[in-house]
Structure 1
Amino acid sequence: MTYVNSADFSLYPELDANALHAFVTALETGDLHGLSPARAADVEEVRSVAVFSRGKVTGADGDLLDAALWRHTGSDPRPVIVMPSPWTNLGWLTYAVQGALFAARGYNVLAYTARGFAGSEGQVDVAGPLDVADGSRALDHIVERTAGPITRIGFLGDSYGSGISQLVAAHDTRVDAVVALSTWGDLGEAFLENSTRHVAAVKALLGAASKARLSPRTRSVFENVLADRDIEGTLRWAEQRSPLTHVKELNRRQVPILFAQAWHETLFPGNQTVRMFNELTGPKRLDLSIGDHSGPETSGMLGLPNRIWTDAHRWFDHHLRGIDNGVADQAQVVSEVMWGKGLEPRAGWSAVTERTRRVHLTGGGELAHKPEAGWTAGVVCGVDTPAIVADAIVTAGHAEMAGRPKVYPTGAIDRGVAAVWAAPPEEETARLRGTPRLRVTYRAANPGSTFVAYLFDTAPDGSAHLVTHAPFSDLDSAPDSLIRADIELQATAYDVPRGHRLLLVIDGRDPFYGDANRPRATLAFTSPEATPSFLDLPLG
């Protein structure tokens, strides 16, 4: 299975570029022909209070960046919002509708295309020093063109623009608040999770940037991940580009930051964003939703009602305009629960999990309450099983949002290839809330080994939905040595219905990840008496 097989791959397949271009043309000309009544009303409203124009921002090294400006002509004091573009050849166009909506609410807004993409000069720096400097230059640009006094300043970005926004806020003391959608805290984990390469994610990024101009260093980093070389160099490169590295600067100024993330995020795994969130000491909020990368907020980019963008507007209205709209008194964490889509507010991340249930892996293939030592369960490497992360990056998340999550035929998982453990049927709904943790011990006959652990919700008929997963690789142990893996599966909010079983599956290959195993090698899982293998389930 291939996750990305087209040079025209897009992280935003639901966005209608023609509709966005028509919206921008209407902003410029006032001609509303062809627009829906709702978008026509948006255009009329913003044109009555602000002037829209396209232009260029002079970025770092004199490179010209394509940009759009919504500017109020009066001398009243106003807040400013700067919006760096996502990782897409649409550039700032992705923000056309939301930029207009912010302008209609009284903000001066500048959206710009990140260097190396679409109409912007320069080369893609992946949130490096040039991108950070570009963000400050973009802010200079709108400050110089604002008629009245500027009250406060916000940065908002989706995906790529979200990381740039956090980093600009860490280095430019003028930034007062941030909204970071589908974001990252530790960029290194987008390339390497538990020593396992995210090859499908890197291919997706390359596919989505097929028309962009990658810097030689950027291209070499991506190619190195795919070729499994100079991983330490990649992690050093990513560290500078990780907001988590600069969290002290954000905390020193107590910059308010709103995060939004999808539970089944395939580009920037959610746990690293949770860690970033937990490290922040200023005002903060974390919205967690069903779906994959950028999916939960995409409909808002088209102007449709959208919970994530509503929260973004309320966040800036409070922290930039001083409106007492209740945001400061609301829960720090809001989780959309799979699959009922109910919203659960919690005071903080520590309040998401109320207790933990520990189940032990046994030789009989059960998840039991008591440990059992002395058994062995074999995994054959290099063989595909029906257990995979997703059918496709991004689009699988759209199916989840539409209420059509992938159905896994657990009965088709070859127990001679994968190791499987089943819990007893749930006597009542099990409310999984937080980060599951897995400890397993295994023996690998060869140097270098990889496994992927999946947690499924399995119905009585054997059909299942994926709750969460995580990979693990060991690259250093001597052949035939016992290896202990202590890993966190990705955080979740999942209701397991009464009568359903939790199923833990471990196999040696998933096309989403790089594979350190030798073909047809075996991994022998066990549970030593001193360090039993177990799964900790967080419950709410």
Structure 2
Amino acid sequence: MHPKHPVAAAILVRATSASKPGDQHCRRRYEGSSGVSSQAQEQAPVSLYPELDEATLLRFVHSLESGDTAGLSTTRVEEVTRARALLQMRRVRVPGDGGIELAGYLWTHHDGRDRPAIVMPSPWTDLGWLAYAVQGTLFALNGYHVLAYTARGFGQSGGEVEVAGSDDVADGSAALDHLLDQTGGTVTGVGFLGDSYGSGISQLVAAHDDRVQAVAALSTWGDLGEAFYENETRHVASVAALLGAAKNARLSARTRQVFDDVLAGRNIEQTLEWARDRSPYTHRDRLNQRRVPVFFAQAWHETLFPNNQTLKMFNALEGPKRLDYSIGDHSSPEMSGILGLPNRIWQDAHRWMNHHLKGEANGIDKEGELVSQVMWSGTLEASATWHDSTGDPQRLYLTGAGADTGDGALTDKPENGWTRTIGTGADTPATVADSIIKAGYAEMAGNPKPYPTRDISRTAAGVWVGPPLTRTARLRGTPGLQLNYASSNGGSTFVAHLFDVDPDDSAHIITHAPFTRTDGSTGEPEAVRLDLQATGYDVAAGHRLMLVIDTQDPFYADSNGQGTTLTVTSPDGNPSYLDIPLA
């Protein structure tokens, strides 16, 4: 749904043909001190949050500040009326680390009662704290002191973007100091909550500041190095998307250098070292020492921060924890909640904070550590732990190509001695998605991307197909692939895609993973074991599983040499196979 679609606009504001004077005034106040040139404003940056409508969020904030609720929906009017009666709300300049100031918005109670507090670092967007205008108000109405702030380098905040570096961690603690200074009464507990960029900062602040007692991290990361270099493959599309979304931001020289290095394929070790300290996984022991309760929300088809690295972080946590998996892509499952609609992810974030900061017995601690929304039924499944949810692996062996279709098979018995040669340099219809993030909205609407399997070139890809299923296959967990292959070049890249194929040969993607070898030996066979991204997917009876190995995908950098080939094999004693986790 486009941000200007009337349904999107109606989420916060009733559709109206006439703009309100207050709306224009509020927009001028917000943009006038942003420090963004008019030329930069005219060249709109790429948005990682296509559903966010700045005008309606600004209208809501203007109503909080002025009391003018003209044009707001009934629900928003009720929230504004209550907030103005109970809260003190204002824009603030938060003293950050190193003398810079951060733009923020503060909701406080001054009735002298002891209350918990929540700090909300912003997503990766020039909107900054504005993205939390509705949810910050809802938390405040539920009894919290709340401070939402714009991360350094974005919007009206000072400083430069350091990508959750030590300056950002220090800013988070400084923001908490400011909130505590501004409240009346004693603060009884502190939580940090963030979406996307703010989620990683929230985890890192909690690891370094003992005052933080609970975290909610939505669409987050655990290991930033793995997110940028999955199986040594550069995620060029995600880095380009981050750069595009930060077009108006002020990137530090080091940040710019790292992003340019990832895109250019240079200084990999230096980039991984840079990413290590910015990865919550590096600091997991600090969180575990205090058993900080952490709530994660992630999308199955996350294209910005592939979910295996977040899952690694989740499984390493030893305190109270919960992971909500949803259909969609980065930030899309929780977006309707940011806009003010009822939303499962935000409801669970509220319940998480209420339980761990207010002591509410709301049952979230008894529902299991994992709650997943199954593709494509949308059914919610709860499990005590991730491992309890994971199915037993069923091994399917790759065979040689059949004479009729040229495709190999996926069977329960190994077949050795065959070879299959794939030409590099040509893309096929087997891709991760049409675009970063936006494909997730179609999935949420029940319209996942269809893949025409007959159009996949069998010279530019290897294809292996299983028989029609006699009953529904419940894939729960992390599929694994062992592939024996040799490259005619020292460097090589391939992408493994696992598809669910309908009886009419149209397919939907289940999961995938890239793999790159930059220092392989020319022509020498090697066995590669890699995990595909974790999944929760039901393959219906009558459908087939299809594995496609090709060598190009616009999401990833390509290390194959021009005109080279990959030859897949299955030698005696070491067959090529696919492990499917079946529950």
Q: Distance in 1 between matches of 2:449 and 2:284?
A: 37
Q: Distance in 2 between matches of 1:538 and 1:45?
A: 50
Deviation at 1:86, TM superposition (A): 0.3
Deviation at 1:319, TM superposition (A): 0.2
The equivalences for 1:129-278 within 5 A come to 129-278=166-315
Match of 1:486 among 526, 529, 539: 529
Q: Please give the secondary structure, in 2, of the residue aligned with 1:443.
A: strand
Partner of 1:52: 89
Partner of 1:3: none
* 1:533 is aligned to 2:576: yes
Matched letter for residue 51 of structure 1: Q
Q: Distance in 2 between matches of 1:430 and 1:478?
A: 39
Answer yes or no: is the 8 Å Cα contact 1:190–1:201 preserved in 2: no
Partner of 2:444: 401
Partner of 1:360: 397
When normalised by structure 2's length, the TM-score is 0.91
Q: Distance in 2 between matches of 1:200 and 1:94?
A: 24
**Higher RCO (C-alpha 8 Å, min separation 6):** 1
Deviation at 1:199, TM superposition (A): 0.2
* 1:379 is aligned to 2:422: yes
Q: Distance in 1 between matches of 2:267 and 2:101?
A: 33
Partner of 2:36: none
Partner of 1:299: 336
Partner of 2:146: 109
Q: Distance in 1 between matches of 2:566 and 2:92?
A: 58
Deviation at 1:354, TM superposition (A): 3.2
How many residue pairs are counted as aligned between the two chains?
535
Deviation at 1:7, TM superposition (A): 5.7
The equivalences for 1:425-436 within 5 A come to 425-436=468-479
Answer yes or no: is the 8 Å Cα contact 2:294–2:321 preserved in 1: yes
Please give the per-residue CA displacement for 1:280-323, whole angstroms capped at 9, x wherever unaligned. Answer: 00000000000000000000001101000000000000000111
Q: Distance in 1 between matches of 2:193 and 2:541?
A: 41
Answer yes or no: is the 8 Å Cα contact 2:490–2:518 preserved in 1: yes
Matched letter for residue 238 of structure 1: A
* 1:463 is aligned to 2:500: no
The equivalences for 1:439-478 within 5 A come to 439-478=482-521
Q: Please give the secondary structure, in 2, of the residue aligned with 1:213.
A: coil
Answer yes or no: is the 8 Å Cα contact 2:391–2:475 preserved in 1: no
Q: Please give the secondary structure, in 1, of the residue aligned with 2:348.
A: helix
Partner of 1:500: 543
Partner of 1:42: 79
**Structure 2 alignment gaps of length 5 or more:** 1-42, 402-407
Q: Please give the secondary structure, in 2, of the residue aligned with 1:531.
A: coil
Please give the per-residue CA displacement for 1:339-396, whole angstroms capped at 9, x wherever unaligned. Answer: 0000000000101123211100010300010111111111111101000010011110
Match of 1:118 among 151, 155, 170: 155
Q: Please give the secondary structure, in 2, of the residue aligned with 1:121.
A: coil
Matched letter for residue 59 of structure 1: G
Q: Distance in 1 between matches of 2:146 and 2:183?
A: 10
Partner of 2:38: none
More divergent stretch after superposition (522-531 vs 210-219):
522-531
Q: Distance in 2 between matches of 1:17 and 1:537?
A: 43
Q: Distance in 2 between matches of 1:322 and 1:47?
A: 27
Answer yes or no: is the 8 Å Cα contact 1:7–1:208 preserved in 2: no
Matched letter for residue 527 of structure 2: R
Answer yes or no: is the 8 Å Cα contact 1:383–1:520 preserved in 2: no
Matched letter for residue 112 of structure 1: Y
Output the aligned Cα RMSD. Answer: 0.8
Please give the per-residue CA displacement for 1:60-106, whole angstroms capped at 9, x wherever unaligned. Answer: 11110000000001110000000000001110100000000000000
Q: Which runs of 4+ in 1 moved over 3 A?
A: none
**Structure 1 alignment gaps of length 5 or more:** 1-5
Q: Distance in 1 between matches of 2:507 and 2:481?
A: 20
Please give the per-residue CA displacement for 1:377-416, whole angstroms capped at 9, x wherever unaligned. Answer: 1111110100001001111001100111000000111112
Deviation at 1:530, TM superposition (A): 2.1
More divergent stretch after superposition (515-524 vs 243-252):
515-524
Q: Distance in 1 between matches of 2:310 and 2:164?
A: 16
Answer yes or no: is the 8 Å Cα contact 2:391–2:477 preserved in 1: no
Q: Please give the secondary structure, in 1, of the residue aligned with 2:175.
A: helix
* 1:389 is aligned to 2:435: no
Q: Distance in 1 between matches of 2:237 and 2:272?
A: 18
Q: Please give the secondary structure, in 2, of the residue aligned with 1:218.
A: helix
Matched letter for residue 202 of structure 1: V
Partner of 1:330: 367
Matched letter for residue 268 of structure 1: F
Deviation at 1:529, TM superposition (A): 1.3
Answer yes or no: is the 8 Å Cα contact 1:467–1:492 preserved in 2: yes
Deviation at 1:108, TM superposition (A): 0.3
Partner of 2:6: none
Q: Please give the secondary structure, in 2, of the residue aligned with 1:48.
A: helix
Q: Please give the secondary structure, in 1, of the residue aligned with 2:371.
A: strand
Q: Distance in 2 between matches of 1:451 and 1:416?
A: 14
Deviation at 1:477, TM superposition (A): 1.5
